């Protein structure tokens, strides 16, 4: 059921804005808002006003697929007490208004199922993204023991995790299956499994953090066992028409850590188990940051998506400092990825999908914007015609115009 990487090609318009079909879902374009944690859950780790507004604006902004951030499959798997969860019915119900709004605006909506593992019970990113301090705990921050493949902490100063027993690993598979059932019940279009950035499943994959000697450790096959069992369990809970994504840290960026060859082997196993898209990120196995150990630059993770796509024959999603429409378009045309995830740049400009359409010659009269916006903006063209572009870029070569930024 996985999408063929040769499908969905039509040269009549920019690839970035061509539809993309995977299983029973057709995205209106190739632009995706990836999961980004914000630590603003409503009481009970539910979805409330902040997430409705925060994620809803990306649907208004023209994205084809919008992901809800890392959402815990159980309470001990919260990265921070302020994260979203999907282990109970109140949480399931809380997502429904957001899902209805996003779908109503013509976008698809996905959820990233996650477990913080050794990084659970830690600081919010804006507070340092490290272990909770004594001052924060004294002020009321919730503290609990995280879990991991061993009792080795993420780094010095972090909480010591409880080492999951073999039976607890097996029970963890059922925990993820239950969360997947809840995601389907809530009405999400896509599920993504988080196996990146040093969280629970990434810590099982990496030889840096997984030094177990039971069936869930040892060689690469043993270290992949828990993530693959979880993928199988999640896939069983999903309709055949529903796409399944997996986010990977393509490389740990650490000495003797998980590497790109490991990711290729993992991707073949994922494809065999019904995964449709590999979301290629990197880093995060030790310390707080996600990719700090991996050198950054324009499109720095695109080569990971390219190799997974072309060696494994599975659709891939590129992410990581993709800043311009032409850059995104070239990634697709060069067959380096099938989807483009725009994270921080989408926070800088929630309408970036619409702006990129203008940059690539589409929506000259705002016809694909929401009607409530497009009507006003199309009329605005008449006002600024002669000294600015439709998107408001001032033409400084026009004589006699005292234009200001």
Cα separation, 397 vs 257, in Å, equals 54
- As beta bridge partners, residue 21 has 26
Query: Could you tell me the CA-to-CA distances from 39 to 97, 102, 348 in Å, in that order?
Result: 19, 21, 18
Q: Provide the token pair at 62.
A: 């023209």
Q: Provide the token pair at 82.
A: 């302020």
Alpha helices in 238-319 (DSSP H): 260-272, 302-312
Handedness of CA 317, 25, 188, 182 (dihedral sign): negative
Q: Where are the beta strands (DSSP E) in 91-174?
A: 108-114, 147-148, 162-163
CA atoms within 13 A on the CB side of 318: 30
Cα separation, 304 vs 285, in Å, equals 17
Non-local (6+) Cβ contacts of 127 within 8 A are: 136
Non-local (6+) Cβ contacts of 39 within 8 A are: 80, 82, 83, 124, 125, 126
Handedness of CA 233, 197, 301, 127 (dihedral sign): positive
Q: How many other C-beta atoms can be found within 10 angstroms of the C-beta atom of residue 273?
A: 18
Query: Could you tell me the CA-to-CA distances from 273 to 101, 184, 233, 245, 316 in Å, in that order?
Result: 32, 18, 10, 11, 16
Of the listed 199, 216, 304, 373, which one is catalytic? 199
Residue with tokens 């969860």: 85
Active site residue 199: yes
Cite the active site residues: 199
């Amino acid at each position: 059921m996985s999408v063929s990487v040769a499908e969905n090609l039509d040269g009549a318009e920019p690839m970035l804005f061509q539809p993309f079909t995977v299983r029973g879902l057709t995205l209106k374009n190739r632009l995706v808002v990836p999961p980004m944690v914000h630590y603003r859950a409503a009481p009970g780790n539910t979805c409330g006003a902040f997430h409705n507004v925060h994620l809803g604006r990306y649907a208004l902004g023209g994205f084809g697929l919008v992901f809800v951030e890392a959402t815990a499959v159980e309470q001990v798997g919260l990265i921070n007490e302020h994260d979203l969860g999907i282990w109970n019915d109140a949480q399931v119900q809380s997502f429904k208004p957001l899902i209805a709004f996003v779908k109503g605006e013509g976008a698809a909506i996905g959820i990233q199922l996650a477990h913080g593992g050794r990084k659970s019970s830690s600081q919010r990113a804006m507070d340092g993204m490290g272990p909770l301090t004594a001052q924060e705990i004294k002020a009321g921050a919730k503290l609990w023991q995280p879990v991991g493949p061993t009792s080795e902490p993420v780094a010095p100063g972090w909480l010591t995790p409880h080492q999951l027993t073999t039976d607890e690993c097996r029970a963890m598979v059922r925990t993820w299956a239950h969360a997947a059932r809840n995601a389907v019940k809530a009405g999400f279009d896509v599920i993504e499994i988080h196996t990146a950035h040093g969280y629970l499943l990434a810590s099982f994959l990496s030889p840096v953090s997984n030094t177990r000697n039971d069936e869930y450790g040892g060689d690469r096959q043993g270290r992949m066992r828990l993530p693959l069992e979880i993928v199988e369990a999640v896939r069983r809970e999903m309709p055949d028409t529903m796409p399944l994504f997996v986010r990977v840290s393509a490389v740990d960026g650490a000495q003797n850590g998980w590497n790109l060859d490991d990711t290729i082997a993992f991707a073949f196993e994922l494809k065999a188990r019904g995964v449709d898209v590999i979301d290629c990120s990197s880093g995060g196995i030790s310390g707080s940051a996600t990719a700090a150990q991996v050198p950054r630059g324009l499109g720095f993770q695109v080569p990971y998506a390219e190799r997974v796509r072309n060696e494994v024959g599975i659709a891939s999603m590129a992410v990581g400092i993709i800043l311009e429409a032409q850059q995104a378009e070239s990634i697709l045309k060069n067959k380096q990825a099938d989807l483009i995830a725009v994270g921080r740049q989408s926070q800088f400009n929630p309408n970036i999908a619409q702006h990129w359409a203008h940059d690539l010659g589409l929506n000259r009269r705002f016809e694909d914007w929401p009607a409530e916006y497009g009507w006003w903006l199309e009329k605005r063209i008449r006002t600024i015609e002669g000294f600015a572009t439709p998107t408001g870029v001032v033409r400084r070569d026009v004589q006699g115009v005292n234009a200001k930024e």
